[in-house]
Amino acid sequence: MPEVQPPTTLSPFSERDDVNTPLAPYSTLGSDDAIITNPLDEQQELTVQREESAQRHAQMVTTLKNQRDNVFTPLSVEERLCQTIGQKSATWTIGPGATYPEEVASGQALRERYLDPYLDNSKRNNGRRRRRLRSLGAPQSSSQQYVCSES
């Protein structure tokens, strides 16, 4: 009579499914076995990590320098005057305020001569602008004030 064989599994990896068999055919598991590492691999890995860290640091420093270059810093008063007028403010002499009546009178005369016509011209220009708008038929700007009362 033929011998009866146990049923076979259809999986080609049936020996891996068995918990009692070792993980690989060339390894044997035991409590006495230790993991063997190569110290050269560890040194090489440390060297690679140091190089990567140095590269990251250099990249971070470069990024920070670029960001600092793009930060807006307003000009100082002297730099702004130099750009606007074209000469340094050190060439201007600013003396003490007027203390004698003659100095006050000369300052007042200069103010009337140079500053007041500028103010008068702006008033005249506003008047001209209003007349021109009226002649073009533009609606008048209302100068009435509206007060909202609380109800």
Q: What is the pLDDT of residues 136-147, one digit of tens each?
A: 775 555 555 555
| pLDDT score at 56 | 93
Q: Which amino acid is at 42?
A: E
Q: Say which residue the tokens 């990567």 belong to.
A: 52
Tens-digit pLDDT profile for residues 77-86: 878 877 777 7
| pLDDT score at 111 | 77
| Domain boundaries along the sequence of the chain | 40-66
Where are the alpha helices (H) located in 75-115, listed in sequence order? 77-85, 101-110
Regions of the chain with pLDDT less than 70: 1-2, 6-34, 68-71, 87-97, 116-123, 138-151
Token reading at 110: 């200069």
What pTM was estimated for this model as a whole? 0.24
Question: How many angstroms separate the CA atoms of 59 and 50, rounded?
Answer: 14
